[in-house]
């Protein structure tokens, strides 16, 4: 009887672990709004991608410094070849949006209201790395909202 309880307990742990993995952001998933391939000095600047911000996952699952509701798959994948310019990723929206980025080094970068107009997020990489950036645009209060993702080397939106 004890061995049966142990097997059931082990099975429950495996199910719980599998469920937790399924709820995490999948930076290898196909991006919701495509892939950008940019090299330092790109034009036009900014590159703008229309996205619907939001999703069903809480970004705080990544880090307590992350905010907002985001999707499982990234909204945009950026393959970037760095040069001497900064890399600025920002969002323009009429709603309170958030930004979550998984950088080429595997680190997570998040912002809520660091951009212009108070409720828009912005992340500035002063000495950006070359590589793949996975980008999620979230909503602070939940729900979904039309937004524009801006990728620039000059300014945030």
**Domains, the chain:** 26-152 (2.60.120.380)
Question: Which pLDDT score, from 0 to 100, does residue 157 have?
Answer: 66
Task: Answer whether 119's CB lies under 8 Å from 75's CB.
Answer: no
Distances (CA, A) of 6 to 1, 10, 15, 19, 80: 9, 6, 14, 20, 49
Instruction: Write out pLDDT tens, residues 92-134.
Output: 999 999 999 999 999 999 999 888 777 899 999 999 999 999 9
Q: Which residues of the chain have pLDDT under 70?
A: 1-24, 157
Task: Determine the Cα–Cα distance for residues 128 and 125; give it in Å rounded to an integer.
Answer: 5
């Amino acid at each position: 009887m004890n061995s049966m309880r142990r097997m059931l307990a082990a099975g429950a742990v495996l199910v719980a672990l599998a469920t937790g993995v399924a709820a995490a952001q999948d930076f290898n998933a196909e991006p919701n709004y495509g892939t950008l391939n940019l090299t330092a000095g790109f034009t036009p600047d900014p590159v703008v991608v229309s996205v619907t911000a939001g999703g069903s996952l809480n970004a705080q699952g990544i880090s307590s410094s992350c905010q907002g509701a985001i999707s499982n798959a990234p909204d945009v994948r950026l393959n970037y070849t760095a040069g001497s310019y900064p890399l600025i990723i920002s969002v323009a929206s009429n709603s309170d949006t958030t930004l979550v980025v998984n950088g080429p080094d595997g680190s997570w970068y998040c912002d809520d209201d660091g951009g212009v107009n108070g409720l828009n997020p912005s992340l500035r990489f002063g000495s950006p790395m070359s590589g793949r950036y996975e980008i999620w645009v979230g909503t602070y209060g939940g729900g979904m909202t039309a937004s524009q993702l801006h990728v620039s080397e000059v300014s945030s939106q």
